[in-house]
Structure 1
Amino acid sequence: MNTNLLLYPMFAHVLWVAFLYVLLTLVRAPAVWGFIQSRKESWAEVEPRISANLSNQFEWPLLFYVVCVLLICQGSVVDSVQVWLAWVFVAGRIAHSLAQIITRDVRLRGLVFTINFVPVLAMWLLVVAKV
């Protein structure tokens, strides 16, 4: 497969992060602009979870971007497995965001994190195995 196919899951993750920034801005806007009259506002409880999840988007995903860029720079044909793993990673990031923002279930978050942890690890193992 063409290495450029890895750009699509990378771009999908970028769009997801952009969406999280917009969501965080919308949640913070009422407090910033003085629209909230009391701390009982439901969004006030969600804001720290969105903010924490946004920070998470720059931790493990960094290794995803590095392996994708490495594969693209090699210029060789990428296995369809690598592209499939990249899409599983993106789906896992979205699921992890939803689990972290919507629920407070840490066990669920851990389980869902595995969905995006394993594919990146597998992508790296495949890269190293070819060397």
Structure 2
Amino acid sequence: MNNEMIFLPVLANILLVFGIYAYMGKAKSRAVKQGSVDKKVAALNSKAWPENVVKISNNLDNQFESPILFYVLSIVYYLTNNVTDILILTMAVYVITRYLHSYVHMTSNYVPYRFKLFVLGVLILLGSSVWLAIKIITQ
């Protein structure tokens, strides 16, 4: 097993964040060009942007919540030499939940779907955390 493979899901999640930044930049630029935002107010209040921009901004904020646990877990698994094919697959599924969560958040923002995706991702992280604790304790 190549331990470095754990960083493929990490890089995929990082690409999601950069994609959201680009999408938000495009949405903000469009809002400014259309005159649908007061730039002076929006400079001090992120909620002053049109709804579509606020949804993107809120989703970007979400990328620095539970994904931090994902990044830390990935590094700890790597450093403790506990990376397995199943772990990589599990972390890839976590990243897929983040992509789907972002899609729902930035489009329909239908909370029941968004919440289910969030919970699935958090449960994956919880399970991965418990599994790592067991591996470290029993080594």
- TM-score, normalization: structure 2? 0.83
Offset, 1:30: 2.7
Counterpart code for 1:44:
P
In structure 1, the partner of 2:86 is: 81
Q: Gaps (5+ residues) in structure 1?
A: none
Contact 1:24-1:47 within 8 A present in 2 as well: yes
Write the deviation string for residues 38-58 of structure 1: whole angstroms up to 9, x where unpaired.
56xxx9321101000000000
Q: Gaps (5+ residues) in structure 2?
A: 38-48
* CA spacing shift, 1:68–1:88, aligned 2, 3 Å: same
- Partner of 1:103, secondary structure, is coil
Residues of 2 paired with 1:49 and 1:15: CA distance? 19
* CA spacing shift, 1:2–1:105, aligned 2, 3 Å: same
Contact 2:97-2:118 within 8 A present in 1 as well: yes
Paired residues for 1:99-114 under 5 Å: 99-114=104-119
In structure 2, the partner of 1:2 is: 2
In structure 2, the partner of 1:71 is: 77
In structure 2, the partner of 1:23 is: 23
Counterpart code for 1:27:
A
In structure 1, the partner of 2:63 is: 57
Instruction: Work out which of the residue numbers 125, 131, 134 in structure 2 matches 1:129.
Output: 134
Figure out how many residues of one structure are paired with residues of the other and give that number: 125
Offset, 1:60: 0.3
Contact 1:95-1:112 within 8 A present in 2 as well: yes
- Partner of 2:34, secondary structure, is coil
In structure 1, the partner of 2:34 is: 36
Contact 2:20-2:60 within 8 A present in 1 as well: yes
Write the deviation string for residues 70-98 of structure 1: whole angstroms up to 9, x where unpaired.
11112x25222211111011000000001
Query: What is the aligned-residue RMSD (CA, Å)?
Result: 1.6
Counterpart code for 1:85:
T
Residues of 1 paired with 2:120 and 2:101: CA distance? 8
* CA spacing shift, 1:86–1:79, aligned 2, 3 Å: same
